[in-house]
């Protein structure tokens, strides 16, 4: 349930998120990472990339680009 609600919130207004500076995207990335750790039961010091791959989640910057590209087509 946490993953679904977080997923919707991260996808909200992707066109506004496109082109944001890294400092702001890093905050969203940390929210996504924390949610992935909560869902998977991973510790904070473990690598997050394999966890995101297991959940089939893109990093925030790539996710925003993908969602905007899907809307444009």
pLDDT digits 0-9 by tens, 3-35: 555 556 666 778 888 889 999 999 999 999 999
SS (H, E, C) 2-68: HHHHHHHHHHCCHHHHCCCCHHHHHHHHHHHHHHHHHHHCCCCCCCCHHHHHHHCCCCHHHHHHHHH
pLDDT in tens, 39-54: 999 999 999 999 999 9
pTM: 0.78
């Amino acid at each position: 349930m946490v993953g679904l609600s977080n997923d919707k919130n991260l996808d909200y207004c992707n066109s506004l998120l496109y082109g944001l500076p890294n400092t702001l995207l890093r905050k969203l990335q940390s929210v996504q990472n924390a949610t992935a750790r909560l869902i998977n039961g991973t510790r904070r010091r473990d690598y997050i990339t394999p966890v995101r791959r297991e959940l089939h989640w893109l990093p925030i910057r790539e996710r925003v680009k993908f969602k905007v590209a899907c809307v444009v087509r």
